[in-house]
Structure 1
Amino acid sequence: MSQWYYSHDGQQKGPVPVSELSRLASVGEFDPEKDLVWREGMPDWQPAVTVDDLPFGEPAAPPEVPATPAPPAQEVASPYQAPVSPPAPSAGSTSPVATTSGLAIASLVCGLCGFFTCILWFLSLPIAVAAIITGHMAHSQIRALPAERQGKGLATVGLILGYLSALLAALSAAFGIWIATQTPDQIRGQEIIPENLREEFARQLERQQQFLEQHEESKQP
């Protein structure tokens, strides 16, 4: 068995067998990478890790197996398109300010006028119709341009007043026609009409009849 000399911490030691060198290396008293060894037949001292006859050499690395290149990934077209973000507003742009619809205001004004003139049905009825038409037009305009027009509440009130005024005007017209078909004595006998109004309506009918009679007499030669 070969005997080896070794140097450790600047001191030459040995000879020792290979098994002793392995034991010393395991307990930290011999460093194969730094400490030198020598035996008969070697030209000079060498680090133990570089000597092939000692079990301290680095194990030979396994041969590298060339890696098989992976096939290039194929792009699969997605059936969905990425959402397109809206363009950012420019620095000078401003959002439109909603204004009250003129049609809504017109509907409200016509509805109020028609309501307060419902006794004069011939005047109230066309005003009520105008309130209804402009109210529906205002609702359509506000639905079409919600960011630019407002006043839905005004248009709704105008519509309500318009329909109510039209109903009151129709009742007023019907009542006027019914009064016109009655005689003064028939009016005075109607209990459903207050007494003061009965007398007033009767006098109005008498004046109307007198006016018509005078007009007919003036036509005669």
Structure 2
Amino acid sequence: MFLEINISNNSSIITEGKKVMKRIRRLICTLLSISMILTATAIYAFGQTIDSVNQGNVSDSSSKELKLQVMDTGNRFPGVENSSSFPKLKMNRKGAKIGRGEKLRLKAFYYPPTRKGTNFRWVSTNRKVAKVTSDGIVKGIRPGRTNIVVSQRSNPSVRAICKVTVGYSIKYHTKGGRLARRSPRVYYNERVTLKDPVKKGYEFKGWYIDRGRTRKITYIDKDADRDYTLYAKWEKE
């Protein structure tokens, strides 16, 4: 007795079976992905609810239901990550240049302005260059660079930084003239090109480093390490 087997038909059945298994595996992967997304969403929503409870934004009604108010900020604060939930500590200046003995007032605030607070800690990373008081007043000590850091006392990781340069001073004696806009008054480790002042009815003849106007100067070299007092020379038109 012989058993006849149709190999071609069985091969077709096996091929179809493999296709079905692939579809089943894809379906399972899709369902798992959806499940993970739903789980993550639920955890996030629960965390937001707890934050709202801690911040006093959730009221407890007679039915013991938690009511959460959700507000869309519409990205009104560009450049600030999670601005609606996490106010950041900022300063009124990111950088400043002052002379020795000169003072600068820095102010700290939260951004977005959804929170008030004055219990800050002020620190200079290089107290030999500049010092800062407990209310943000910086005083230049000697030429150099330092960072002025303000932070929350309760959470030092929440902080802001202002880069401060203390430089050598430049004083001008215009002899009745008017300085050009943005004429440098402080410099440190940089080449400074001196700007021409103006005086009605006179032609500017240059800056000099002596009262007698005999030693002319047109720029301050990058390697210079001294204060300068400059005197303007004029010639009647």
> Shorter-normalised TM-score: what interval?
under 0.3
- Comparing both structures, which one devotes a greater share of its residues to strand? 2
Q: TM-score, normalised by structure 1?
A: 0.21
In the superposition, the TM-score normalised over structure 2's length comes to 0.20
| Structure showing the higher helix proportion among its residues | 1
- Larger C-alpha radius of gyration, 1 or 2? 1
